[in-house]
Amino acid sequence: MFNLGRIGIAGGGSWATANAKIIQEKKIPINWYIHENEAIEHLKEYGNNPLYLSDAEFDPKLLNLTNDINELVENSDTIFLIIPSAYLKSALENLHVPLKNKTIVTAIKGIVPDDNILVGRYIHKKYDVPYESIGVITGPCHAEEVALERLSYLTIAFQQHEKAKVLSELYNNHYIKTTISDDILGTEFAAVLKNIYALASGICNGLGYGDNFQAVLISNAIREMKLFTDTINPIPRDIKDSSYLGDLLVTAYSQFSRNRYFGTMIGKGHSVKYIKNEMNMVAEGYFASKGIYEINKNYKINMPIADSIYKILYNKQSPRKVIKELTGLLT
């Protein structure tokens, strides 16, 4: 039977901290790679991450903390990658310990910049990790509500049902429920796309569009997501499942959504540079917008919402003008 073995987490942000909290509910030791030494020393002494989700409490005796990615990989059998996609390559650039014999679980909801590929595919191509050893964790779930232990749901996707089941058992607790999927590509792409649509929701909010329009925007977004995922990976899937529609809804509407906030600031007239400096966290949708645009050059899927966000962010077109044009394309 599949065994997760020694567990390692790569990443020190809010979502990595939330996942560490969930796993440690089972009183399991965790190898934890965090880039910031300040956070490591604070966790050792006080049992919480001072930079993200500081209310989440940990038992320092169960944490093996390191800022050496090689130490993490060497001492772990199952590695959870929870680093913003924009920083994944730099975090792994000094890695010389092989990954190919490890189980990799990616909870990164973004596309690897420049390469314009999903994280799972990047790990497979770059580090020779077999696809059957790569899993995906998606929402709908915000880190902040995990820290508050509010009931949340996660979707776990693996090619092999047994691996998904073991991981599901690790995550299930009194405030986390899980479902299992074999749609690795679909759930991973949906996790990328929902951030773009949350940006759209935020931009429209910043421009003053109301709830009536938001309902139309998001209903069109889920159809756009279905068209994209069905074209990229044409297997049976129910787009109404929580890993697709649910994740989109929470990201587009939640007060905790950094992508919605990023979009709202764009809609209010702030520059991308200003927002990046002002935010303490990464809005994955910014990078995802370019990645999806580049990928879609090969497929030519009709994606007016995603295309509109690309025009605003990368072609620097007027948000008001672009969204006005978009309103004539929605039904």
- The CATH label, of 1.10.1040.10, 1.10.10.10, 3.30.70.1280, 3.30.70.260, for the domain at 186-327 is 1.10.1040.10
Burial of 230 (0-12, 13-18, 19+ CB in 10 A): middle
CA-CA distance, 206 to 264, in Å (whole number)?
Answer: 4
CA-CA distance, 330 to 16, in Å (whole number)?
Answer: 36
Pick out the chain residues at pLDDT < 70: 281
Compute CA 22 distance to the chain's CA centroid, rounded to the nearest angstrom: 16
Query: What architecture is domain 7-182?
Result: 3-Layer(aba) Sandwich (3.40)
Secondary structure class of 9 (helix, strand, coil): strand
| Other beta carbons within 10 Å of 179 | 14
CA-CA distance, 190 to 306, in Å (whole number)?
Answer: 13
pLDDT score, position 326: 98
- H helices present in the chain, as ranges: 14-24, 37-46, 69-74, 85-92, 119-127, 143-147, 161-171, 184-207, 211-232, 247-253, 258-267, 272-278, 284-296, 304-313, 319-327
Domain ranges of the chain: 7-182, 186-327
pLDDT score, position 44: 97
Picking from 21, 41, 22, 20, the residue whose alpha carbon sits closest to that of residue 31 is: 20
